[in-house]
Amino acid sequence: MGANANNSSINHELSIDAARLMDRIMSLAEISPIAGGGNCRLALTDDDRDGRDLVVSWMRDLNMEVSVDAVGNIIAVWNVGSGPPVMTGSHIDTVRTGGKFDGNYGVIAGLEVVQTCQQNGVTPDHPLAVGIFTDEEGARFAPDMLGSLVYVGGMTTEEALDITAIDGPRLGDELVRIGYAGSAPCPGVIPHAFVELHIEQGPLLEANDVRIGAVTGVQGISWQEVTIVGQSNHAGTTPMSLRHDPTYVAAEIAVFLRKLSARYGSHQVCTVGKVDVFPNLINVVAARVTMTLDIRNTDEYLLQRAEMEVAAFLNEIATSEGVTITTKKLARFEPVEFDERVVAVIEQISNDLGNTTQRMPSGAGHDAQMLARVCPTAMIFVPSINGISHNPAEDTETDDLVAGANILLHAMLNLCSTDFAKV
Ligand code: HGY
Ligand code: MN
Ligand code: MN
């Protein structure tokens, strides 16, 4: 049995407990619920702490060895077999208007895999690990995937601990405040392999009427904060020709991004998600606007070209409108290709379990894109109803959630018996 899984290699009698999976998802969803059925658990807030405490209690119930590292990543290991663990995991921090499945589903399905093995007397050749990575969303502390980036050595612990939140606090101080400033070192243990199960968060699987995505990689991500300083003035007395209006400039930047996306087409996406106007008053031409630009593409060359076009536009409009524009890079990750051997295992197992399956890239960032730097990695997607995510209405059919968790179960077991030196 190995990376070239075949039908005989799957024990079809072995399957996860659907009710238990859904119970845990719904129990976690009760922590910091918001109107519309979602959650708000921004990274390292009290709400995040409460979610962490609950999931750690489940990990301990499964007699897993739980460690917390210097940036608050929680790694639980079921110590069976030998050698480095086959790991799964994701995140349980959410955006401010998050759903109940983004990240949470992958962590809880990982626990379900361990409990199913324990209860069926299945002892894999490698330990099984489930990770909760800190601040995957990056919404409070940029960049996103911060915890997994430090876990794989892509950022030093010191640098991470000094990052400040959009609401002010220092990351290291928040870890201490919520009791998750751990002692386990970063970078962390390099897994034998890593598989992340996640909702697609987009419309593709539903549009194609396909149940499972065998994810081939993650698109490149470019985040920057743009600060535009103009001249505050009276809304009634200042002639239009004399204005240096940062809010107008911000609007032009948003329009430029929309038109750039249309020109590039294909996977190019651009988002202005955050705009802070000062003083933000009806009768005042603003003094300053701070906004964020989220630019993504599966093609690194096109992503760099888009970044250069945006930089040139910022210079041009600063001159024409007589404002000053400064930028601050918040995140920059190149596109990632997952390991074909792991993608093939996922695709084969999904088909063998009777699911419709397609290969696809991920539009969203994920912790798996960081683990891919250090070990054979890939992801499993299940459909998002109406393609909605980062929205309390985020939803996925229970049958699809269960199907994804069963693929995770068999993929992790398959990878436990895969010698990557030979495939
Ligand atoms: O921004 C993202 O793609 C992810 O949700 N952090
Ligand atoms: Mn996520
Ligand atoms: Mn997310």
Ligand number, closest to the Cα atom of 105 = 2
Sign of CA dihedral 268, 310, 160, 93: negative
Task: State which ligand 1 atom lies nearest to the alpha carbon of 138.
Answer: 6
Say how many Å lie between the CA of residue 390 and the centre of ligand 3: 6
Say how many Å lie between the CA of residue 41 and the centre of ligand 2: 13
Question: What is 220-333's CATH topology?
Answer: Alpha-Beta Plaits (3.30.70)
pLDDT digits (tens, 9 = 90+) for 307-359: 999 999 999 999 999 999 999 999 999 999 999 999 999 999 999 999 999 99
The neighbour count for residue 8, using CB atoms within 10 Å, is 8
Say how many Å lie between the CA of residue 106 and the centre of ligand 3: 12
Say how many Å lie between the CA of residue 364 and the centre of ligand 1: 5
Give per-residue burial for 263-289: e unless 16+ CB within 10 Å, then b: ebeebbebebeebebeeeeeeebbbbb
**Atom 4 in ligand 1: residue holding the nearest Cα:** 365
Is 1's pLDDT higher than 60?
A: no
Task: State which ligand 1 atom lies nearest to the alpha carbon of 363.
Answer: 3
Ligand number, closest to the Cα atom of 200 = 2
Task: State which ligand 1 atom lies nearest to the alpha carbon of 95.
Answer: 5
- List of residues 6+ apart from 94 with CB closer than 8 A: 38, 39, 40, 41, 42, 102, 103, 104, 137
Ligand number, closest to the Cα atom of 94 = 3
The neighbour count for residue 20, using CB atoms within 10 Å, is 15
Domain 18-218+335-416 and domain 220-333 have a common topology: no
Ligand number, closest to the Cα atom of 139 = 1
Tokens linked to 14: 């072995």
Say how many Å lie between the CA of residue 135 and the centre of ligand 3: 10
Is 3's pLDDT higher than 70?
A: no
Span 8-28, average pLDDT: 93
pLDDT digits (tens, 9 = 90+) for 187-229: 999 999 999 999 999 999 999 999 999 999 999 999 999 999 9
Provide the pLDDT for residue 2.
Answer: 40
- List of residues 6+ apart from 294 with CB closer than 8 A: 221, 222, 223, 269, 270, 271, 272, 273
Task: Report DSSP letters for 257-322, one per residue.
Answer: HHHHHHHH-TT-EEE---EEEES--TTEE-SEEEEEEEEEES-HHHHHHHHHHHHHHHHHHHHHHT
The kind and range of the H/E element at 39 are strand 38-39
Rounded Cα distance, 164 and 38, in Å: 26
Q: What is the mean pLDDT of the chain?
A: 97
Asked if the bond preceding 279 is cis, omega within 30° of 0, the reply is: yes
Residues with CB under 6 A from ligand 1: 136-138, 144, 364-365
Rounded Cα distance, 399 and 396, in Å: 9
Residue whose C-alpha is closest to residue 148's, from 183, 111, 194: 194
**Atom 5 in ligand 1: residue holding the nearest Cα:** 137
Contact assessment for residue 407 and residue 212, using Cβ atoms and an 8 Å cutoff:
yes
The neighbour count for residue 211, using CB atoms within 10 Å, is 23
Helix (H, G, I), strand (E, B) or coil at 413: helix
Delimit the domains of the chain by residue range: 18-218+335-416, 220-333
The residue type found at 135 is D
Span 21-28, average pLDDT: 98
Task: State which ligand 1 atom lies nearest to the alpha carbon of 296.
Answer: 3
Query: Helix crossing, 18-29 with 46-61: angle to 10°?
Result: 150
pLDDT digits (tens, 9 = 90+) for 156-165: 999 999 999 9
Which CATH superfamily groups domain 18-218+335-416?
A: Zn peptidases (3.40.630.10)
Say how many Å lie between the CA of residue 333 and the centre of ligand 1: 12
Tell me the best of 144, 223, 333, 336 to mutate to test the pocket of ligand 1, counting ligand atoms within 8 Å of each CB and taking the most: 144
Ligand number, closest to the Cα atom of 364 = 1
Helix (H, G, I), strand (E, B) or coil at 37: coil
- List of residues 6+ apart from 134 with CB closer than 8 A: 43, 44, 71, 72, 73, 91, 93, 146, 147, 150, 175, 180
Rounded Cα distance, 377 and 381, in Å: 14
Provide the pLDDT for residue 9.
Answer: 73
Confidence of residue 106 (pLDDT cuts 50, 70, 90): very high
CA 423 to chain centre: 29
Confidence of residue 7 (pLDDT cuts 50, 70, 90): very low
Report the predicted TM-score, pTM, of the whole model to 2 decimal places: 0.96
Sign of CA dihedral 135, 137, 143, 148: positive
Tell me the best of 41, 97, 136 to mutate to test the pocket of ligand 1, counting ligand atoms within 8 Å of each CB and taking the most: 136
Say how many Å lie between the CA of residue 367 and the centre of ligand 1: 9
**Atom 6 in ligand 1: residue holding the nearest Cα:** 137
Say how many Å lie between the CA of residue 354 and the centre of ligand 1: 30
Contact assessment for residue 198 and residue 104, using Cβ atoms and an 8 Å cutoff:
no
Tell me the best of 94, 196, 366 to mutate to test the pocket of ligand 1, counting ligand atoms within 8 Å of each CB and taking the most: 366
Say how many Å lie between the CA of residue 84 and the centre of ligand 3: 28
